[in-house]
Amino acid sequence: MKSLWDEKEAGRFTDDLDLRVYSSQLLGRDTSLVLHGGGNTSVKITENNILGEAETILYVKGSGWDLETIERPGYAPVRMDHLLKLAELEQLSDLQMVNELRTHMTLASAPTPSVEAILHAVLPYKYVDHTHADAVVTVTNTPNGLLHIKDIYGDRVVIIPYCMPGFDLARLCAKEFAAQRHAGTEGMVLMNHGIFSFGETAKESYERMIKLVDMAEQYLDKNKAWTLLHSGSELEGEKKIYKELAVLRAEVSTAAGKAVLLKTNSALKYIDFVQRDDIADIALQGPATPDHVIRTKRIPMLGRDVDGFVAGYKRYFNKYAPNARQEVTMLDPAPRVILDHEFGLVSVGVTAKDTRVIEDIYDHTIDIILRAARLESYRALPGQDIFDVEYWELEQAKLRKSGSVPMFSGEVALVTGAASGIGKACVASFLARGAAVIGLDIDSAVTSTFQSPAYLGLVCDVSITQHIIQALEQGVRRFGGLDMLVLNAGIFPAGVPIRELKMETWREVMQINLDACLLFMREAYPLLKLAPNGGRVVLMGSKNVPAPGPGAAAYSVSKAGLTQLMRVAALEWGPDNIRVNCLHPDAVFDTGIWTDDIIKSRAESYGMSVEDYKRKNLLKTDITSHDVAELAAEMCGPLFAKTTAAQLPVDGGNDRVI
Ligand code: ZN
C-alpha cells in the first residue's frame, strides 16, 4: 500500500474542499481500498451564511458518487450544530435520519448526504476518511479478528464491534471514541466493516489511512497470508458454452421475475477458486463487508441449481424476516454471483454496468476469503446482520419508488453491419432503450464505435458459419443470451442489366444478403427460443421488394428471398414465441454507400436537384438511418408485441408501392 499523494499536484489546491476532493480521488483510485460507491470522506469548514453568521458545515460525500470520480458537487453541505444535536438523540430511524440530513443542508440541489454523515460529524477532526480496505476486512473476518487487530495496531486505533451502519453506529462510535481515544489515536477500525482515519489536513488523514492499511497488509504478509498463487488446470481449449449459458440465464431470469444479463469470466483464478475442495465451506459464509450484500446477495450460487438456490433464499428470508426492524418485502430470490466449475465466475445484473460491478466486488471477495483462510479461517458476520443490511429501511424505500425501467432492461440485441449507417444507428437505438448490444461487422471499426459497458463490438464475416458461432459464444459470455436479432448487413452492387450480370456478382449478393441471414437465424434460433420475453428478429428488406428497379436484379431478388425467409420463419417460430418482421427502407442517404458524388450524379440523371432527389417520396421528407433504426427497435418492443411476419415500409411513401 503506497501513498499516491503528490505535493506538486496537491499544491494546485488551496481550498479545503478542493483538497478533500483531491485526496478522496486518491483513495478511490485504489480498488483494494474502495469499490464502486464504497467508502466516504468529509471535511468540516467554517463559512459565513447569507446572513453573515459564521457556521461550521460538514461537507460529506453524497450518495450516488464514487470516490474515484468525485468532484465538489459530490459533497453535501450539512450544518454541524444540527448533526451534533442529532447524535445526542436516543433513537432515530433511518428514514427520519435521511429527512434530517436533507433538511439541514445549505444547498438545496446537493445530493443526499451519506448515511454515515452523523458518524463523520462526531469525530472531532477536520478531515475524516473511511474505506472498506480489503486488508482490514480480511483480518476482521476471522474467528480471532479482534486479537489480530490488537496485534497489528496496539492502541493506535479505536476498535468498534460490528454494528449496522446508520444512526446506531454513529452513536456507538461517539461513545467508544470518547472512551478509547488518546493523544496517539490515528484511526478507528469497525469490525467486519472497514476503517476510518482522520487528521487536521487532507494529507495527514489520507496518509494515515495508507499507513494503517499498509500495517494490515504487512501483518498478512508476515503470516504468509498475503501472496496468493493461483494454480490449477487451464480450461479445456475451445469448448463452446454459449448454449448452456443461455439456458442458465433463462432460469435465473425466471427466478428474478425479469430479464437479466449474465457476465461470465472463466479466468484461471475463478476456475481455481471454484474447484477447491472446501469451496462450499469458504464461499457460503457471507460477504466481506455488509454493504456488498445489496449487490451480491449474501452468498453465491454454487453450480447451476437455480431452484435449489431460490429455495435456500426463501428459507433465509423466512428465518430472519421476523426479527427485522420493520416489516419487509422479499426481494427477488435470484442469485447475483454464480460459481461454476466450468464457467468460472458469473455475475448477474439488470445492466451491463451492474454485472461489472458485481464481478469486481466478487473478485476482491475471493482474495479476502483466501487470505483470511490462510491467516486463520474466513468467518463472515451472522446471517441476521447481513439480512438487516440487505433489508434495511432505506433500501426497501428505494424499492417502493417505482422508477421507470428502460424498455429493453436486462435484454440483449445483436446487430449485423454495425460499424456504419443503419446498423450503427440500430446499435444506438437499442442502447438508448436499455439493451446490451453485440455489434458485428467485417470492418474492424466496429470494435470501438461505442464506449459503453453495454456494447460489445466484434469483427465477423457473416458469410462464415464458424464466425457466427464464435460471435455468439463471445456475445453470450459477455451478456448471457440473445433476445433480439437485427440482420442488417448487406451489399448493394453497382447497377447492371440482366444480360450482363455475372454469376460471380449474383452469388456474392446472395451469399451476403440472403445465405448469411439464413445461417444467422439458424444458429441464433436456440438462443432466441430461450429469451425471457420472447425472441424478436428484424430483417432489413428493401423498397426494391415491392417495387424493384431495372439493373438491380441480384439485390432485389436477394431481398425478396429474405422477405420470404422472414415469412417462413414467422410460421415456424411463432409457437416458440419468436416474432419475425422486416422493414423496407428506401433512399437512406446518410449511409456509407452514398457519397456526395454518387448522389449528385444520380440526381443529375433524373434531372433533379440533390435536395429534390433525396426527397423524391410522397411526403417529401428525408429518410435517415436513425429513422430506420428507431423503427427497428420499436418493432422489438411492446408496441409490436402482437405483430409477426409484417413488412413495414420506411420510405416516405412511394406511389409504386402503394
Ligand atoms: Zn462503510
- DSSP assignment of 574-598 equals GGGTEEEEEEEE--B-SSTT--HHH
Instruction: Judge contact between 116 and 170, C-beta under 8 A.
Output: yes
Residue 237's pLDDT is 56
- Read off the C-alpha cell for 567: 415469412
- Dist. CA 537–CA 566, nearest whole Å: 9
Region of poorest pLDDT, from 255-269, 480-494, 584-598: 584-598
Write the burial class of residue 315 (CB in 10 Å: 0-12 exposed, 13-18 middle, 19+ buried). Answer: exposed
Å from CA of 107 to ligand 1 middle: 24
Mean of the pLDDT values across residues 68-89? 95
Å from CA of 65 to ligand 1 middle: 14
Å from CA of 195 to ligand 1 middle: 8
Report residues near ion ligand 1: CB below 5 Å: 194
Write the burial class of residue 115 (CB in 10 Å: 0-12 exposed, 13-18 middle, 19+ buried). Answer: buried
Residue 314's pLDDT is 97
Q: Is the dihedral of CA 102, 108, 113, 117 positive or negative?
A: negative
- Dist. CA 281–CA 434, nearest whole Å: 38
- Read off the C-alpha cell for 241: 458454452
Å from CA of 64 to ligand 1 middle: 14
- Read off the C-alpha cell for 451: 464506449
Degrees to nearest 5, angle at CA 487 with 485 and 493? 175
Residue 92 has pLDDT above 80, yes or no: yes
Å from CA of 131 to ligand 1 middle: 6
Å from CA of 335 to ligand 1 middle: 24
Residue 239's pLDDT is 84
Chain segment 136-188, per-residue pLDDT in tens? 999 999 999 999 999 999 999 999 999 998 899 999 999 999 998 898 899 99
Residue 369's pLDDT is 96
Q: Which of 411, 291, 289 is nearest to 351 (CA)?
A: 411
- Looking at 181-329, list the stretches that DSSP marks H as alpha helix, in order from N- to C-terminal side: 202-222, 242-256, 268-274, 279-283, 293-296, 306-320
Reduce the DSSP state of residue 440 to 3 states and report it: strand
- Dist. CA 540–CA 214, nearest whole Å: 59
Average pLDDT, the chain: 93
The string over 577-613, giving b where at least 16 C-beta atoms fall within 10 Å of a residue's C-beta and e elsewhere, is: ebbbbbbbbbbbbbbeebeeeeeeebbeeeeeeeeeb
Å from CA of 156 to ligand 1 middle: 20
Mean of the pLDDT values across residues 546-566? 94
Å from CA of 114 to ligand 1 middle: 10
Q: What is the value of pTM for the model shown?
A: 0.93
Residue 600's pLDDT is 85
Residue 337 CA: distances (Å) to CA of 36, 306, 355? 16, 12, 9
Residue 399's pLDDT is 61
Task: Indicate the pLDDT class of residue 1, thresholds 50, 70 and 90.
Answer: confident
Using H for helix, E for strand and C for coil, what is the string for 68-107? HHCCHHHEEEEEHHHHHHHCCCCCCCHHHHHHHHHHCECC
Residue 404's pLDDT is 81
Degrees to nearest 5, angle at CA 590 with 585 and 594? 90
Chain segment 334-368, per-residue pLDDT in tens? 999 999 999 999 999 999 999 999 999 999 999 99
Quick one: DSSP state of residue 46?
A: E
Residue given cell 435484454 in the structure block: 411
Å from CA of 132 to ligand 1 middle: 6
Å from CA of 295 to ligand 1 middle: 15
Chain segment 293-336, per-residue pLDDT in tens? 989 999 999 999 999 999 999 999 999 999 988 888 899 999 99
Q: Which of 601, 599, 565 is nearest to 580 (CA)?
A: 565
Å from CA of 40 to ligand 1 middle: 7
Residue given cell 472463466 in the structure block: 266
- Dist. CA 581–CA 566, nearest whole Å: 7
Å from CA of 261 to ligand 1 middle: 28
Residue 210 has pLDDT above 90, yes or no: yes
Amino acid (1-letter code) at residue 199: G
Residue 443 CA: distances (Å) to CA of 231, 278, 418, 469, 519? 38, 47, 9, 18, 20
Residue 570 has pLDDT above 90, yes or no: yes
Residue 566's pLDDT is 97
Beta strand 187-190 pairing with 157-160: parallel
Residue 233's pLDDT is 53
Task: Indicate the pLDDT class of residue 597, thresholds 50, 70 and 90.
Answer: confident
Mean of the pLDDT values across residues 113-128? 94
Å from CA of 357 to ligand 1 middle: 17
- Looking at 457-543, list the stretches that DSSP marks H as alpha helix, in order from N- to C-terminal side: 465-479, 503-510, 516-528
Residue 431's pLDDT is 98
Residue given cell 433464499 in the structure block: 313
- Dist. CA 586–CA 624, nearest whole Å: 10
Å from CA of 54 to ligand 1 middle: 31
Size (the chain), residues: 658
Residue 14 CA: distances (Å) to CA of 8, 20, 197, 406? 12, 11, 22, 43
Å from CA of 293 to ligand 1 middle: 13
- Looking at 90-195, list the stretches that DSSP marks H as alpha helix, in order from N- to C-terminal side: 94-103, 117-122, 134-140, 145-153, 167-180
Å from CA of 436 to ligand 1 middle: 31
Residue 129's pLDDT is 96
Mean of the pLDDT values across residues 598-626? 88
- Looking at 351-458, list the stretches that DSSP marks H as alpha helix, in order from N- to C-terminal side: 352-375, 383-390, 393-400, 421-432
Q: How far is it between the farthest Cα atoms of the chain?
A: 98
Residue 236 has pLDDT above 80, yes or no: no
Residue 379's pLDDT is 93
Chain segment 480-536, per-residue pLDDT in tens? 999 999 999 998 888 889 999 999 999 999 999 999 999 999 999 999 999 999 999
Å from CA of 441 to ligand 1 middle: 45
- Read off the C-alpha cell for 615: 426527397
Å from CA of 190 to ligand 1 middle: 9
Mean of the pLDDT values across residues 276-291? 92
Task: Indicate the pLDDT class of residue 398, thresholds 50, 70 and 90.
Answer: low
Residue 29 CA: distances (Å) to CA of 22, 204, 471? 11, 18, 33
- Dist. CA 344–CA 252, nearest whole Å: 16
Instruction: Judge contact between 505 and 456, C-beta under 8 A.
Output: no
Residue 402 has pLDDT above 70, yes or no: no
Q: Residues of the chain with pLDDT > 90: what percent? A: 81
Amino acid (1-letter code) at residue 196: F
Region of poorest pLDDT, from 195-209, 233-247, 443-457, 474-488: 233-247
Å from CA of 142 to ligand 1 middle: 19
Å from CA of 196 to ligand 1 middle: 9
- Hey, what domains does the chain have and what are their CATH numbers? 7-222 (3.40.225.10), 242-397 (3.40.225.10), 412-591+624-648 (3.40.50.720)
Residue 384 has pLDDT above 70, yes or no: yes
Å from CA of 193 to ligand 1 middle: 6
Å from CA of 115 to ligand 1 middle: 9
Residue 235's pLDDT is 56
Residue 112 CA: distances (Å) to CA of 83, 102, 250, 295? 14, 6, 37, 20
Å from CA of 34 to ligand 1 middle: 10
Å from CA of 630 to ligand 1 middle: 43
- Dist. CA 43–CA 238, nearest whole Å: 54
Degrees to nearest 5, angle at CA 124 with 121 and 126? 85
Å from CA of 291 to ligand 1 middle: 7
Mean of the pLDDT values across residues 184-194? 94
Å from CA of 269 to ligand 1 middle: 27
Å from CA of 385 to ligand 1 middle: 14
Amino acid (1-letter code) at residue 542: S
Q: Which of 326, 262, 333 is nearest to 297 (CA)?
A: 333
Å from CA of 129 to ligand 1 middle: 10
Residue 194 CA: distances (Å) to CA of 47, 133, 141, 364? 31, 6, 11, 14
* Residue 92 neighbours by CB under 8 Å, 6+ apart: 86, 100, 167
Å from CA of 194 to ligand 1 middle: 6
